[in-house]
Amino acid sequence: MDADMSAWQKAAQAKRQAILQAIPPKWRVQQQNLPVDVTGTYIRGFLNPREIEITEADAVLITTQTASGKWSAVEVTEAFCHRAAIAHQLVNCLHEFFFEDALGVAKELDDHLAATGKPKGPLHGLPVSLKDQFHIKGVDTTMGYVGWIGTFQGQKDDPRARVAESELVRELRDLGAVLFCKTSVPLTLMAGETANNIIGYTWNPHNRQLSSGGSSGGEGALLALRGSPAGFGTDIGGSVRIPAAFNGVFGLRPSAGRMPYEGAANSIDGQNTLLSVIGPMATSVGSLKLLFKAVLSQKPWLYDPLALPLPWRYDIEKETQKLIEASARDPSVLAFGIVHHDGVVRPHPPVKEAMIFIKHILKDKGHKVMDWDPQLCKEGQEIADKAYAMDGGEDLLSHMTLSGEPQPPQSFIGKSKHLSAREVAALNVQKRQYMKKYMDYWNSTSDLKATGKPVDAIICPTAPYAAVIPGKFRHAGYTTFINTLDYTSAVIPITSADKGIHRVESPPQFLSEVDQKVYAEYNAEIYDGAPVGIQLIGRRYEEEKILTLAEYITECIKLYSGEGLVQLAA
């Protein structure tokens, strides 16, 4: 180590090296002359055909194979561990890697299947990655804070350190999942790019000049490289959706209380104006459904005091499937709202085109489509921003103070006014009134459909940019207003930026200062190859409907874009 380094720098460097050292020498790779795009062909070059076959299967196929014993859990786990180890060396996406523990669990699962003839649960033998907010026995939870290394959430000598497990972890084990790594997050979690003083910057695998998004950026990057078939992130302002969109994978932000947050680390814990939620991320929409249903089968409401007793509602899933079937005969029974922009920042050309593309698909299919009023977005964004900053940044800064580490430029922490309880209450009232306004607007669309029912879902950009240029993530508003509304939102990959198509356009009438800045930062060359994902948004607690509609929309997109989507997700 460099003698001139400060204590926090030494601690960060040691942790960084420990992550690399957890990778066995046989899986180390040279990191020279990396191409811009390290997905697909490039990463396959490190793997044998069997490993490629396994790791390019989605969670639905994998669990079919492991449940029947066609693939052993050990073989599957080893293949993903190998690919994840390479992925980390290409884009810095891991905080923890514990493949030996994982192989031990996989061995037990194989033994269980051999002994009983039955899989342990619906996720039998499925490797599952987790964002570094979940506590897993045997490894750290740093959440990117240097001051958390070797502690329990920054508390030294706490017996829970490296011992306690989060409720979701307990449930995943019972479901038969194999945990094998924890993925990188930005310091404080409050950022749309993933960077911290331990692992540095998590790059976008599709274009290593770009960001993997945040805050579940490591999760998104790992999935894009197929270093994991499925995982869980968290989302208080877009942290599942932005990295899903930026990495060309699928993600779900459910409404608060469906997935168990109990026993996970968090930023600004106890801020309950706008709750962070856990959501699955995966390489197929079917995998999102598999994971979400599996967790609900564990009845998290009996173990997490904030979880709601809402099991997977098969009746709503079936109703939605029937609606889709009915729409084959009469397409007008399905209706969608399209948000072209949020009234604050216009999307870059690749995102704008994606919205035109999806609108074209839906209209061509014969569905009812209406342009959604953007006027209501801004207030939702402002409420979210006030909620994040209600303690004046005190909690976030306190964790940085533990080690004295500096703030990376991508973080959002600014000193702001610390609200009083009465001001918090006023914000809660404003939020409720905002939700009511939005609800009334949604209800008012019932005259669009012959059925007299309001639109089924709205479709909206996930961000004004495709996977963003580092340091340029200026506007999270496309996702944050959904957190204010506590709506369900699934991200679906739709296309990617193409320098041959998505040229710089002539300046529009700007909506705001940040609109002007964002406009100026589009660069067709640099953005080339950056994925674009769209949000499919439902009302509160409409996960069954939205995931089922997302399956349908994904099929539609495939029909219209040929092999485009397959390339993205591979």
Q: Is 236 labelled a binding residue?
A: yes
Using CB under 8 A as the binding rule, whether residue 488 contacts a second copy is answered as: no
Using CB under 8 A as the binding rule, whether residue 439 contacts a second copy is answered as: yes
Using CB under 8 A as the binding rule, whether residue 308 contacts a second copy is answered as: yes
Residue 215 bears catalytic tag: yes
Using CB under 8 A as the binding rule, whether residue 306 contacts a second copy is answered as: yes
CB 56 within 8 A of CB 570: yes
β-strand pairing of 230-235 with 127-131: parallel
Catalytic residue among 131, 431, 472, 545: 131
Spatial CA neighbour of 496 closest among 284, 206, 193: 206
Of the candidate spans 236-244, 373-381, 385-393, 501-509, the one that interacts with a second copy by CB under 8 A turns out to be 385-393
Using CB under 8 A as the binding rule, whether residue 314 contacts a second copy is answered as: no
State how far the Cα of 354 lies from the Cα of 79, in Å rounded to an integer: 34
Of the candidate spans 135-143, 214-222, 367-375, 434-442, the one that interacts with a second copy by CB under 8 A turns out to be 434-442
**Cα dihedral 282, 248, 363, 538 in deg (nearest 10):** 40
Site for a second copy in 517-536 (CB under 8 A): none
Burial of 17 (0-12, 13-18, 19+ CB in 10 A): exposed
SS3 for 439-456 is HHHHHHHHHCCCCCCCCC
* 41 vs 401 by CB, closer to a second copy: 401
State how far the Cα of 279 lies from the Cα of 259, in Å rounded to an integer: 7
Token readout for 178 is 């194999």
β-strand pairing of 195-196 with 277-282: unpaired
Q: Which residue among 395, 512, 514, 524 contacts a second copy (CB under 8 A)?
A: 395
* 88 vs 539 by CB, closer to a second copy: 539
CA 47 from chain center: how many Å? 26
Site for a second copy in 247-276 (CB under 8 A): 262, 268-273
b/e code 150-159 from CB counts within 10 Å (16+ = b): ebbbbeeeee
Using CB under 8 A as the binding rule, whether residue 452 contacts a second copy is answered as: no
Total of residues contacting a second copy (CB under 8 A): 41
Using CB under 8 A as the binding rule, whether residue 391 contacts a second copy is answered as: yes
* 8 vs 438 by CB, closer to a second copy: 438
**Cα dihedral 408, 414, 415, 418 in deg (nearest 10):** -120
CB of 183 to a second copy, least distance (A): 25
CB 185 within 8 A of CB 216: yes
Using CB under 8 A as the binding rule, whether residue 540 contacts a second copy is answered as: yes
Spatial CA neighbour of 184 closest among 155, 151, 210, 221: 221
CB of 313 to a second copy, least distance (A): 9
CB of 396 to a second copy, least distance (A): 11
Site for a second copy in 404-433 (CB under 8 A): 418-429, 432
SS3 for 282-313 is ECCHHHHHHHHHHHHCCCHHHCCCCCCCCCCC
Using CB under 8 A as the binding rule, whether residue 155 contacts a second copy is answered as: no
Catalytic residue among 166, 212, 215, 228: 215
- What's at 188, amino acid-wise? T
State how far the Cα of 346 lies from the Cα of 509, in Å rounded to an integer: 10
Q: Which residue among 309, 414, 452, 562 contacts a second copy (CB under 8 A)?
A: 309
Provide the residue count of the chain: 570
β-strand pairing of 335-338 with 368-371: parallel
CB of 335 to a second copy, least distance (A): 16
CB 225 within 8 A of CB 272: no
CB 55 within 8 A of CB 222: no
State how far the Cα of 421 lies from the Cα of 436, in Å rounded to an integer: 23
Residue 332 bears catalytic tag: no
Of the candidate spans 147-155, 299-307, 337-345, 488-496, the one that interacts with a second copy by CB under 8 A turns out to be 299-307
Helix (H) or strand (E) holding 403: none
Residue 437 bears catalytic tag: no
* 329 vs 422 by CB, closer to a second copy: 422
Catalytic residue among 166, 212, 239, 276: 239
Of the candidate spans 38-46, 287-295, 437-445, 517-525, the one that interacts with a second copy by CB under 8 A turns out to be 437-445
* 118 vs 418 by CB, closer to a second copy: 418
Give, in degrees to the nearest 5, the angle at Cα 504 between 498 and 505. 125
Of the candidate spans 36-44, 49-57, 90-98, 438-446, the one that interacts with a second copy by CB under 8 A turns out to be 438-446
Q: Is 176 labelled a binding residue?
A: no
CB 251 within 8 A of CB 233: yes
Using CB under 8 A as the binding rule, whether residue 164 contacts a second copy is answered as: no
CB of 255 to a second copy, least distance (A): 9
Q: Is 238 labelled a binding residue?
A: yes
Using CB under 8 A as the binding rule, whether residue 390 contacts a second copy is answered as: yes
Q: Is 237 labelled a binding residue?
A: yes
Q: Which residue is it, tokens 């997905």? A: 39
> Contact letters (x/-) for a second copy, 166-205, by CB under 8 A?
----------------------------------------
Q: Is 239 labelled a binding residue?
A: yes
CB of 80 to a second copy, least distance (A): 33
Q: Which residue among 371, 394, 505, 555 contacts a second copy (CB under 8 A)?
A: 394
Spatial CA neighbour of 344 closest among 483, 514, 459: 514
CB of 307 to a second copy, least distance (A): 9
- List interacting residues with a second copy (CB under 8 A): 262, 268-273, 301-306, 308-310, 390-392, 394-395, 418-429, 432, 435-436, 438-439, 443, 540-541
For the annotated catalytic residues, the residue numbers are 131, 215, 239
Binding-site annotation: residue ranges: 189, 215, 236-239
Pick out the residues of the known binding site for substrate: 189, 215, 236-239
